[in-house]
Amino acid sequence: MESTERNITDQFGRVHDYLRISLTERCNLRCFYCMPEEGIQLRPRSEFMTNEEVVAMAKIFVSLGVKKIRLTGGEPLVRNDAKEIIKELSQLPVEIAITTNGILVDKFIDNFISSGLKSVNVSLDSLQREKLNKITRRDYFDTILSNIHLLIKNNFHVKLNAVIIRDVNDNEIIDFIEFTKDNNVHFRFIEFMPFDGNKWDWSKGLSYKEILDMVKLNYRNNFSRIEDKKNDTSKNFRVNGYKGTFAIISSVTNPFCDRCNRIRLTSDGKIKNCLFSDSETDLLSVMRRGEDIVPIIQETVWHKKLMRGGMNTLVDLGKQKNRSMVAIGG
């Protein structure tokens, strides 16, 4: 391993400066593509990172060159001490962002503002009440929509995430884009990915090409590609004259692994060097024994595979063993 002491680089030269921390495996929704129908087995609190441990882990990653931390889950805002964690992390020299289902945003907005958190991603898989309830297996349509508008009103950088699934919400792609006409949001269409318990089958997914063909059919030449930013996972577009933008995230048909700078830390303190990787490395037990976790982080990332955790084909993807998304941290 040739990584220098104060950074996190893999064997292919990719520098990892973006950490996604899952705060919990619990969630107040039950999205069918993420959470198995039967839910997930609850485990004792002692198996998960305390707020002090989350902050201690974050500090170590920051000392290794991490410049951005995204909090995710499960639903990160169901954690009782989420406000304290956000406040503490905001003292570090990093950009803090969060991915949430939006339900508790109104309870947190003051905390976000006072912590300087500017970027909020919210899942929104349908603009239709009945359909959203069916997808999430809960009834929070009004709360989610009103909280999205609250974020917009308060000038947050808002990204909306929709996992596009055939015969579920593929007929709303144009409605999602129309939502960007008067709302300054970035609507992202995500290809359906396989995780344990989500009954993945690629015939249910819509590819980048299929989504883009629908957009072309509707908007013809009236939309354009926006230049990618460094480490962008999405291909970004804007309909001419619209306030917001939209994007396609093609993790299945056109992965962006060559520019990957991400590391994932699960809520039980395991590091995953790729969302699709079937292996994980325990940091929390090592930290609790008072030992140095830095060499373990560097070693784990060094061995990251070139593409999708080694899942090179759709067949590999369908067969992989992984946690449920809710237990990884999307």
Question: Considering the rule CB under 6 A, would residue 123 count as an interface residue with ligand SAM?
Answer: yes
| Nearest CA among 302, 277, 232 for reference residue 13 | 302
Minimum distance between the CB of residue 151 and ligand SAM, rounded to whole angstroms? 13
- Contact pick of 8, 19, 23, 34 for ligand SF4 (by CB under 6 A): 34
Contact stretch for ligand SF4 (CB under 6 A) within 29-37, 152-160, 223-231, 269-277: 29-37
Helix, strand, coil abundance in the chain, percent, nearest 5: 35, 20, 45
| Contacts of ligand SF4 in 99-128 (CB under 6 A) | 101, 123
Minimum distance between the CB of residue 255 and ligand SAM, rounded to whole angstroms? 13
| Nearest CA among 173, 174, 110, 105 for reference residue 145 | 105
Minimum distance between the CB of residue 315 and ligand SAM, rounded to whole angstroms? 18
Residue 271 pairs with which residues in a beta bridge?
Answer: 265, 281
Question: Considering the rule CB under 6 A, would residue 96 count as an interface residue with ligand SAM?
Answer: no
Site string for ligand SAM, 220-259 (x = CB under 6 A): ----------------------------------------
Indicate if the alpha-carbon torsion angle 232, 183, 176, 195 is positive or negative.
positive
Question: Considering the rule CB under 6 A, would residue 330 count as an interface residue with ligand SAM?
Answer: yes
Q: Residue 198 or residue 298: which is nearer to ligand SAM going by CB?
A: 198
Question: Considering the rule CB under 6 A, would residue 73 count as an interface residue with ligand SF4?
Answer: yes
Minimum distance between the CB of residue 326 and ligand SAM, rounded to whole angstroms? 6
Q: ∠ CA 203-174-32 to the nearest 5 degrees?
A: 45
Query: In 11-22, which positions are buried (b, 16+ CB within 10 angstroms) versus exposed (e)?
Result: eeebebbbbbbb
The distance of Cα 38 from the centroid of its chain, to the nearest Å, equals: 23
Q: How many helices (DSSP H) and strands (DSSP E) are in the chain?
A: 11, 12
Three-state SS for 65-80 is: CCCEEEEECCCHHHCC
Minimum distance between the CB of residue 163 and ligand SF4, rounded to whole angstroms? 8
Question: Considering the rule CB under 6 A, would residue 275 count as an interface residue with ligand SF4?
Answer: no
* Binder of residue 30, out of ligand SAM, ligand SF4, none (CB less than 5 to 8 A by kind): ligand SF4
* Binder of residue 322, out of ligand SAM, ligand SF4, none (CB less than 5 to 8 A by kind): none
Residue found under tokens 């996190």: 8
Total site size for ligand SF4, rule CB under 6 A = 13
Minimum distance between the CB of residue 151 and ligand SF4, rounded to whole angstroms? 16
Q: Residue 138 or residue 166: which is nearer to ligand SF4 going by CB?
A: 138
Minimum distance between the CB of residue 245 and ligand SAM, rounded to whole angstroms? 17
Q: ∠ CA 137-139-143 to the nearest 5 degrees?
A: 135
DSSP 8-state code for residue 249 = E
CA 277 to each of CA 7, 86, 128, 215, 303: distance values in angstroms, whole numbers, following the listed order: 21, 28, 34, 32, 11
Q: How far apart are CA 211 and CA 186, in angstroms?
A: 16
Q: Residue 73 or residue 269: which is nearer to ligand SAM going by CB?
A: 73
Residues of the shown chain interacting with ligand SAM in the complex, contacts defined by CB under 6 A: 27, 33-34, 72-73, 75, 99-101, 123, 161, 163, 190, 192-193, 195, 198, 325-326, 330
Residues of the shown chain interacting with ligand SF4 in the complex, contacts defined by CB under 6 A: 27, 29-31, 34-35, 73-75, 101, 123, 325-326
